[in-house]
Structure 1
Amino acid sequence: HEPKRVIFLGPNHFQNVDYFPTLKIPENDPNIVLSFHFYIPHLVTHYKASWSNIRDYNGPVQYPGIPIAPDDTVGYDLKLRSILEHYMHEYMDRNYLEKRLQPALVKAKATNRQLYCGEFGCLPNVSEAARNTWFKDLISLLEENNIAWSIWDFKSSGFGVFRAEDWSFAIPREILFLE
């Protein structure tokens, strides 16, 4: 069975799309699928995540839009402000996500490989409107580009498709199924 086994291969740094240009792929193996994770913009997807380097930022976060205003970082230490600097100057929306997907799309086209987004999600710590718009934008881009996908994770109080406490949809059905 080994000649037919499918292997999912992704770039370094937690399968970050930005590292696709340096990913080396065996040439004569048709059973390789290119895999990546997508948590961009990180401030939106990981807002207030306890394990994140941005966990101490409690100001407002926008999506779509420029995620934070410079004034929103006043009073935070210099290290956190320098991390947040990136989120103060660029408008982030569906077009931004599409631009950030480009390294994966370019590599897939150049190597004639299928893409799989094996992890993506957004914690429910941003506004419901921002979270739902982010999911709608990303899922529609994945579908338009024929990229197979899987949300992290199935059922939880965090990234889950379903809420842990009652099995209700945490992400609206019409977004998940593009109804």
Structure 2
Amino acid sequence: MNSSNTRRNFLKKSALIGSGISFAGAIPFETLAKEAKHQNKLPAWKGFNLLDFFSHDPNAGRPTKPRYIQWISDWGFDFVRIPISYPSYLDIDRSRPIRPDEVLNFDESRLEKVDELVDRCISKGLHVSLNLHRAPGFCINAGFEEPYNLWKDQEAQDAFCAHWDMWAKRYKGISKKKLSFDLVNEPFQRQNPNDQHSPGGLVDVADYHRVAKAALDTIKSVKKSRLVIADGNGGGGIAVPELADLDLAQSCRGYHPFPISHYKAGWVYKDPESVPPVNWPLIQGERILDIEEIRKYYAPWKALVDQGVGVHCGECGCYNETPHEVFLSWFGDVLTVLKENGIGFGIWEFSGAFGVMNSGRKDVAYEDWYGEKLDRKFLELLRAQL
């Protein structure tokens, strides 16, 4: 080692550090405090949702191929969210609606399948967010019957907490850097829970606070350091400052405006073919929706970040009926705004109608990727954010 060169390098680095301190010292403390205030407390994780346990029927899941997890990691992503329908890991009769006395019939063999996916993802360096997409007493999707209402019935809340107690104990040994819990997917109050097109809206904030606090307390009693996330209200998109007194991060959505992200989606529109064409920017009457509209949409989430609440976008993306160029133009703006606010994202699915792989779009020249159909333009749009 050349000692004179080493000394010169040390002096050079010391001068740079010293100048940095002097520069910082010239900045008013209020300015520095303001900048620090805007730092998102959650890492800007970027990745995908994996739908292995999304269906209430474990035999109807969409298993994630091991090579998918490898590709997610190899391409530089660091996050997966696993939305779970709780009946998928119960030992029950699925030919009829679930009964209150069955909601805690945990099936160890099915729980081990979740363990396997969690372990595989963590082994590849991916942070795992475990989410109850369907919880005792609630799911934003219709087509089944719950025996009670999570937002109103104490029995449902008790069952909800019992599920999170089970998961908290099961994964107690896993660091919060590797695993977080997302309490319940997209709180929403639908007039008719069995009709997907039934109108609805916000869950009463007092009810949401009570249920979230009970589950949070349950989880923290097992592992105080566990990171816990609450989804936005009204289907995930509405920030909930009323939860800011709790030790909860929050999860927003990247589906605004909905006519772009869910264009001709059959579970949204009764007559998908009657939906008018879309473009970006989107013209709605006298309104022109562009990137400034997206900034306005995320302003309440930015306010949460400024308040010191961690924010992540747990779901985002676009259904495969939206013209590809429209989708990429719009979603590029969504990603820009999320990045401006230090908010990471989880694309709704890796392989499928919203995914980078096998999306089934009619207007994409797919790249053959080891026998799979890769949307290279979409992938590179995402990787540009890494």
* Equivalent residue letter for 1:163: N
Q: 1:50 to 1:171 in 2, by over 3 A?
A: farther
Given candidates 148, 168, 177, the residue that maps to 2:344 is 148
- Normalised TM-score (structure 1): 0.75
Structure number with higher relative contact order (C-alpha < 8 Å, ≥ 6 residues apart): 1
1:95 aligns with 2:292: yes
1:49 aligns with 2:265: yes
| Matching residue of 2:245 | 26
Deviation at 1:171, TM superposition (A): 4.8
Q: SS state of the match for residue 282, structure 2? A: coil
CA shift digits 1:119-171 (9 cap, x unpaired): 01111212211100112111121122110211101110x11122257241265
Deviation at 1:16, TM superposition (A): 1.5
CA shift digits 1:93-114 (9 cap, x unpaired): 111111101111112212x022
| Matching residue of 1:81 | none
Equivalent residues of 2:261, 2:319 under 8 A apart: yes
In the aligned structure 1, how far is the partner of 2:277 from the partner of 2:296?
Answer: 24
CA shift digits 1:8-38 (9 cap, x unpaired): 1123222123x434x32334x3xx3211122
| Structure 1 unaligned residues grouped into runs of 5+ | 67-86
Q: SS state of the match for residue 4, structure 1? A: coil
Larger radius of gyration: 2
**Segments of 4+ moved more than 3 angstroms:** none
Q: 1:164 to 1:16 in 2, by over 3 A?
A: closer
Q: SS state of the match for residue 44, structure 1? A: helix
In the aligned structure 2, how far is the partner of 1:53 from the partner of 1:20?
Answer: 27
Q: 1:172 to 1:56 in 2, by over 3 A?
A: closer
Q: SS state of the match for residue 147, structure 1? A: coil
In the aligned structure 1, how far is the partner of 2:274 from the partner of 2:294?
Answer: 23
RMSD over aligned Cα, in angstroms?
2.1
Matches within 5 A, 1:75-86: none
| Matching residue of 2:230 | 9
Instruction: State the identity as a percent.
Output: 26
Q: SS state of the match for residue 12, structure 1? A: coil
| Greater strand proportion | 2
In the aligned structure 1, how far is the partner of 2:300 from the partner of 2:342?
Answer: 15
Equivalent residues of 2:249, 2:309 under 8 A apart: yes
